């Protein structure tokens, strides 16, 4: 199923009077839209490559980052330069770690990062084995890479690659402090169709900090009676976009525990804009980055029209 949201028919870049549009942010090939909510919270949407945009942002400007990058070999976002289709696990991990390095730079010293990431099974056939094998959103069979090659790691077919921990370990060996490995129990998600192993029902959310002292509010965890296993329904409202959105509740909890009042929130892989919407609703300013024009324009249109 193609995305049924057609950006070109919906808006010109500067269609909305309450939004300003900058076609060449920082003299680069980066489009930027900015506006304010009715309660004067500012937001910005950048359309461009996350690494390039992050490099153009000032250091130490965000309290909290909540994000979910493209998973390895799982979904085609149909944009040149997208992350997720590297030939080896090492290249994928390096691409993410490079972006996380820039996140580290733009995060305030007492800031927090919540990274939601899922695993991929290695099939050995140049295909991934995901939650829903029949989903046409996945790009099965289009690549004939690495047939039987073990993804540069000598993996045997049917192996769970362990992507989330490979990324987390690499990040914590460089500069980050890994403070918590949270299990998101994806309640009511569509079950995998596999019959020869337990079906996956969870993903990881890693909480990283820059320093030993950082903003943290335990109260919401105590209120909800949950610590590092979060039971949150996986289904989200359909929005016509194939972004694999995470649920509002997940972002809400990350912000409640990891972002001070009137904070500034960033999502470098913002997709349909879940993080921005939840952050603005909670009284924070919000910045989102995505490579996909259609997704960026969808967010801008929603923010401009709803004004929250």
Ligand X SMILES: C[S@@+](CC[C@H](N)C(=O)[O-])C[C@H]1O[C@@H](n2cnc3c(N)ncnc32)[C@H](O)[C@@H]1O
Judged by the rule CB under 6 A, the positions of this chain that interact with ligand X are: 49-50, 68-70, 77, 79, 81-83, 243-246, 269, 271-272, 274, 289-292, 295
Nearer to ligand X, 83 or 163 (CB): 83
Nearer to ligand X, 234 or 257 (CB): 234
Nearer to ligand X, 63 or 272 (CB): 272
Task: Supply the minimum distance, in Å, between the C-beta of residue 21 and ligand X.
Answer: 19
Nearer to ligand X, 263 or 271 (CB): 271
The owner of tokens 């919000």 is 286
Q: Which residues are paired to 231 by β-bridges?
A: 185
Task: Supply the minimum distance, in Å, between the C-beta of residue 209 and ligand X.
Answer: 21
Q: Starting at the earlier edge strand, list the strands of the sheet with 159-160.
A: 128-129, 121-122, 159-160
Helix (H, G, I), strand (E, B) or coil at 196: coil
Task: Supply the minimum distance, in Å, between the C-beta of residue 155 and ligand X.
Answer: 23
In this structure, what token pair is assigned to residue 42? 């500012």
- Backbone dihedral angles phi then psi of residue 76, each to the nearest 5 degrees: -100, 115
Contact 178, 170 (CB under 8 A): no
Helix (H, G, I), strand (E, B) or coil at 105: helix
Nearer to ligand X, 118 or 263 (CB): 118
Nearer to ligand X, 124 or 271 (CB): 271
Burial of residue 300 (CB within 10 Å: 0-12, 13-18, 19+) is: buried
Task: Supply the minimum distance, in Å, between the C-beta of residue 240 and ligand X.
Answer: 12
Task: Supply the minimum distance, in Å, between the C-beta of residue 278 and ligand X.
Answer: 9
Q: Residues with Cβ < 8 Å from 132, sequence gap 6 or more?
A: 138, 190, 192, 193
Residue nearest to ligand X (CB): 271
Task: Supply the minimum distance, in Å, between the C-beta of residue 225 and ligand X.
Answer: 26
Spatial separation of the C-alpha atoms in residues 142 and 147, rounded to whole Å = 12
CB half-sphere exposure, 61, CA atoms < 13 A: 14
């Amino acid at each position: 199923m193609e995305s049924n949201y057609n950006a070109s028919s919906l808006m010109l870049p500067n269609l909305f009077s309450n939004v300003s549009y900058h076609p060449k942010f920082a003299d680069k090939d980066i489009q930027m839209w900015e506006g304010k909510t009715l309660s004067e919270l500012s937001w910005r949407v950048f359309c461009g490559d996350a690494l390039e945009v992050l490099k153009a942002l000032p250091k130490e400007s965000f309290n909290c980052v909540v994000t979910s990058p493209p998973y390895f070999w799982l979904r085609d976002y149909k944009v040149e330069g997208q992350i997720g289709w590297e030939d080896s696990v090492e290249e994928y991990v390096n691409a993410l770690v490079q972006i996380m390095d820039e996140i580290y730079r733009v995060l305030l010293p007492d800031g927090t990062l919540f990274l939601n990431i899922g695993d991929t099974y290695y099939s050995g056939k140049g295909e991934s084995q995901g939650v829903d094998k029949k989903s046409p959103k996945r790009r099965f069979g289009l690549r004939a890479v690495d047939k039987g090659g073990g993804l540069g790691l000598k993996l045997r077919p049917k192996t769970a690659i362990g992507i989330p921990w490979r990324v987390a370990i690499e990040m914590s060996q460089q500069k980050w402090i890994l403070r918590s490995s949270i299990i998101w129990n994806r309640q009511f998600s569509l079950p995998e169709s596999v019959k020869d192993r337990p079906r996956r029902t969870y993903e990881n959310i890693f909480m990283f900090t820059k320093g030993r002292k950082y903003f943290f509010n335990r109260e919401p965890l105590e209120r909800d009676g949950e610590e590092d296993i979060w039971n949150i329904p996986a289904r989200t409202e359909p929005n016509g976009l194939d972004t694999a959105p995470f649920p509002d509740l997940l972002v809400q909890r990350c912000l409640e525990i990891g972002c001070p009042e009137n904070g500034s929130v960033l999502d470098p892989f913002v997709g349909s804009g879940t993080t921005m919407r939840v952050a603005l609703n909670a009284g924070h300013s919000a910045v989102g980055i995505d490579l996909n024009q259609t997704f960026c324009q969808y967010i801008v249109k929603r923010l401009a029209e709803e004004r929250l």
